[in-house]
C-alpha cells in the first residue's frame, strides 16, 4: 500500500508509541454497507430511532462530496478502515482492578490512574470503540452530575434528553465526515450538569486507538444546564501504525443560560492519523464557552471548533496552539457565529511549523444582523522554524451589521536570533534555548491548562523540538 509511506522520521516519541497485540474478539468487515450499519446497531442494542438515524446518515455520506478546500486526504482509503473494533472486555468497569491487564498497562504508561487519584473527577477511557473504564468521583455524582458512556445513556433515564440533542448541533448534512460519524459512531461520553451545579474539579476522558487500521468515531455530548459550571478535559494519545487511521469524532456542547463550560483538549494522535473531528457548542443567554485546544499529533487534521452564540450576552473564548512537524499537515482554527445581541468572542491562537510541517490557521467569524452590540477579536501568531515548512493564515470575517466591533490581528515570524543568543549566553544549548522560546510562544494555551497537562504539553514541545537543530 502507498499509505505506508506516511511513516516519517520523528524525534523520540517512544514514550507515546507503544502497543499491544491486537487481540480483538470481533471485527466488522471493511467497507460500509447498510448491512454493516445494521450489524453495528444490533450489537449496540440501539433504539430503533438510532438505527434509522444511522442509515439516513450513511445515505448522506454516500451522496456528499469530499471537502474541496483543505489538506489532501487522498491517503485515506475509506474501504480499508475497519469502523468498528470492539475490545475484548465484556462490560463496563468501574473498578480499575477489573480492567484487563494489557489495556491497563497502556493507560498506566499514560499516567491516567495517578492523575485520577490526584485531581481528576472521573475517567472515561475509550479503548478502541468501547468505554472500558468509567468512574465518577462520589461528590461529583452527589451534585447530580451525570457522567457516563453515551451508549448506555441512550437506553437509560436520559434517553429522551439525548434523543433531543444528539447530532442536532452537528447534523449529518454538515459535511461528509459528520455523515460518516452519524452512521458509525461508537462509544463516547455523556455529561449532564444540573442547574446551578458547580463542578470544581475537571472531568476528564482519554481516547485511544489501538487496532491497526481502526477508525474511531466517539461521540461526546455535554449539557451544562442553567447557571452551572464544568471543565471537561479530553486527552488523546495513540500508538503509531503505518496504515492510514481515521478519527472522525463529534463533540456537541450545550451551554445553558448563564452557564460556563471549559472544554480543553491536548490532541496527540499518532502521525499517521487523519483527524477529521467536528466540535461545536451552542451557548444560550449569558453563557460562556471556553475552548482550550492543543494540536500536536496526527498526519492530517481538519479541526475548527465552532461556537454558536445563540443568546443575548453569550461569550466565546478560544485559545489554541498547533505544532506541525515533519509529515504533518494540520489545518486548525475555529468558527464563531454571533446570532444574538451583545455577544462577544475572543480568539487567540499560535501555530508552529517545523521540519517540513504545514500548519494552517483557518477561521470564520460571522456577525449576523441580529447581533447588535457584539464584539469579536481574533489574534493569531505563527512561528516558522525553518524554510522547508509552511504556515498559512486564512481568517475570514463576515459582518452584517454596523452595530458591532470586529478586530483582527495576525503575525508571522521566526525565532529571534538575539533571544537564542541571550539564552545561550546564560548556558543553555541552542536546542534548549529554542525549545524554551517555543514553549513560551505556546504559553497562551499552557497557562490555561491544569498543571499536569501544561507539563505534558511542554514535554510534547520538547520532544517535537528535538532534531530541529542541525
Tell me how far, at minimum, the Cβ of 390 lies from another protein, in Å.
5
Contact criterion met (CB below 8 Å) for 353 and 384: yes
Alpha carbons 328 and 267: distance in angstroms, whole number: 13
Instruction: Find where cell 490555561 sits.
Output: 448
Q: Which is nearer to another protein, 208 or 280 (CB)?
A: 280
User: Taking the complex as a whole, how short is the minimal distance between the CB of residue 13 and another protein, in angstroms?
Assistant: 24
By beta-carbon proximity to another protein, the closer residue of 237 and 382 is: 382
Q: Quote the cell numbers at residue 327.
A: 509529515
Nearer to another protein, 69 or 117 (CB): 69
Residue number with CB closer to another protein (210 or 382): 382
Considering the complex, state which of residue 129 and residue 391 has its C-beta at the smaller distance from another protein.
391
Could you tell me the smallest distance in angstroms from the CB atom of residue 304 to another protein?
8
Sign of CA dihedral 441, 442, 445, 448: negative
CB of residue 379 vs another protein: minimum separation in angstroms? 10
Q: Which is nearer to another protein, 1 or 66 (CB)?
A: 66
Q: How far is the CB of 76 from another protein (least distance, A)?
A: 19
List contacts with another protein (CB under 8 A).
67-69, 304, 335, 362, 364, 369, 382, 384-387, 389-414
Q: Please give the torsion angle defined by the CA atoms of residues 82, 84, 88 and 93, in that order, rounded to the nearest 10 degrees.
A: 150
> Among 253, 251, 291, 307, which Cα is nearest to 275's?
251
Q: How far is the CB of 67 from another protein (least distance, A)?
A: 7
Q: In the Cβ-directed half-sphere of 323, how many Cα atoms lie within 13 Å?
A: 25
Bridge-partner residues for 162, per DSSP? none
Surface-to-core class of residue 87, CB atoms within 10 Å of its CB (0-12 exposed, 13-18 middle, 19+ buried): buried
Beta carbon of residue 92, minimum distance to another protein (angstroms, whole number): 38
168 or 414: CB nearest another protein: 414
> Among residues 171 and 407, whose Cβ is nearest to another protein?
407
For the CB of residue 247, give the shortest distance to another protein in the complex, in Å: 20
- Of 62 and 66, the one with the shorter C-beta distance to another protein is 66
Distance (Å, rounded) from C-alpha 248 to C-alpha 234? 15
C-alpha cell at 257: 443560560
In the complex, least distance from residue 410 CB atom to another protein, rounded to whole angstroms: 4
Amino acid at each position: 500500500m502507498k499509505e505506508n509511506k506516511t511513516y516519517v522520521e520523528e524525534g523520540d516519541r517512544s514514550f507515546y508509541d507503544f502497543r499491544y497485540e491486537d487481540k480483538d474478539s470481533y471485527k466488522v468487515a471493511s467497507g460500509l454497507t447498510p448491512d454493516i450499519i445494521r450489524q453495528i446497531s444490533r450489537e449496540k442494542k440501539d433504539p430503533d430511532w438510532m438505527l434509522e438515524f444511522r442509515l439516513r446518515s450513511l445515505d448522506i455520506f454516500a451522496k456528499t462530496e469530499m471537502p474541496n478546500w483543505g489538506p489532501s486526504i487522498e491517503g485515506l482509503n475509506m474501504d480499508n478502515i475497519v469502523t468498528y473494533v470492539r475490545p475484548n472486555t465484556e462490560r463496563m468497569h468501574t473498578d480499575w482492578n477489573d480492567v484487563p491487564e494489557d489495556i491497563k498497562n497502556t493507560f498506566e504508561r499514560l499516567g491516567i490512574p495517578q492523575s485520577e487519584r490526584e485531581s481528576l473527577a472521573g475517567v472515561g477511557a475509550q479503548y478502541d470503540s468501547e468505554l472500558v473504564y468509567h468512574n465518577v468521583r462520589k461528590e461529583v455524582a452527589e451534585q447530580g452530575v451525570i457522567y457516563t458512556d453515551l451508549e448506555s445513556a441512550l437506553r437509560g433515564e436520559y434517553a429522551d434528553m439525548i434523543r433531543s440533542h444528539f447530532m442536532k448541533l452537528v447534523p449529518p448534512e454538515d459535511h461528509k465526515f459528520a455523515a460518516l460519524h452519524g452512521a458509525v459512531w461508537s462509544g463516547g461520553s455523556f455529561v449532564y450538569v444540573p442547574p446551578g451545579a458547580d463542578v470544581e474539579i475537571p472531568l476528564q476522558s482519554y481516547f485511544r486507538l489501538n487496532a491497526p487500521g481502526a477508525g474511531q468515531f466517539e461521540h461526546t455530548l455535554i449539557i451544562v444546564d442553567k447557571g452551572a459550571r464544568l471543565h471537561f478535559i479530553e486527552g488523546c494519545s495513540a500508538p503509531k501504525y503505518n496504515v492510514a487511521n481515521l478519527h472522525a469524532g463529534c463533540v456537541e456542547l450545550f451551554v445553558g443560560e448563564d452557564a460556563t463550560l471549559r472544554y480543553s483538549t491536548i490532541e496527540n494522535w499518532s502521525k499517521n492519523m487523519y483527524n477529521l473531528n467536528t466540535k461545536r457548542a451552542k451557548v444560550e443567554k449569558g453563557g460562556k464557552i471556553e475552548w482550550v485546544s492543543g494540536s500536536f499529533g496526527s498526519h492530517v487534521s481538519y479541526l475548527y471548533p465552532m461556537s454558536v452564540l445563540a443568546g443575548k450576552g453569550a461569550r466565546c473564548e478560544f485559545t489554541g496552539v498547533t505544532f506541525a512537524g515533519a509529515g504533518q499537515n494540520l489545518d486548525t482554527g475555529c468558527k464563531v457565529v454571533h446570532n444574538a445581541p451583545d455577544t462577544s468572542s475572543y480568539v487567540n491562537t499560535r501555530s508552529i511549523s517545523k521540519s517540513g510541517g504545514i500548519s494552517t490557521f483557518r477561521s470564520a467569524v460571522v456577525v449576523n444582523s441580529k447581533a447588535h452590540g457584539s464584539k469579536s477579536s481574533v489574534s493569531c501568531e505563527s512561528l516558522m522554524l525553518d524554510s522547508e515548512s509552511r504556515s498559512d493564515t486564512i481568517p475570514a470575517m463576515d459582518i452584517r451589521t454596523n452595530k458591532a466591533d470586529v478586530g483582527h490581528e495576525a503575525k508571522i515570524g521566526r525565532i529571534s536570533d538575539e533571544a537564542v543568543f541571550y539564552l545561550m549566553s546564560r548556558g543553555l544549548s541552542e536546542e534548549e534555548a529554542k525549545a524554551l522560546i517555543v514553549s513560551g510562544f505556546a504559553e497562551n494555551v499552557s497557562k490555561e491548562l491544569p498543571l499536569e497537562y501544561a507539563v505534558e504539553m511542554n514535554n510534547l514541545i520538547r520532544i517535537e523540538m528535538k532534531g530541529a537543530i542541525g
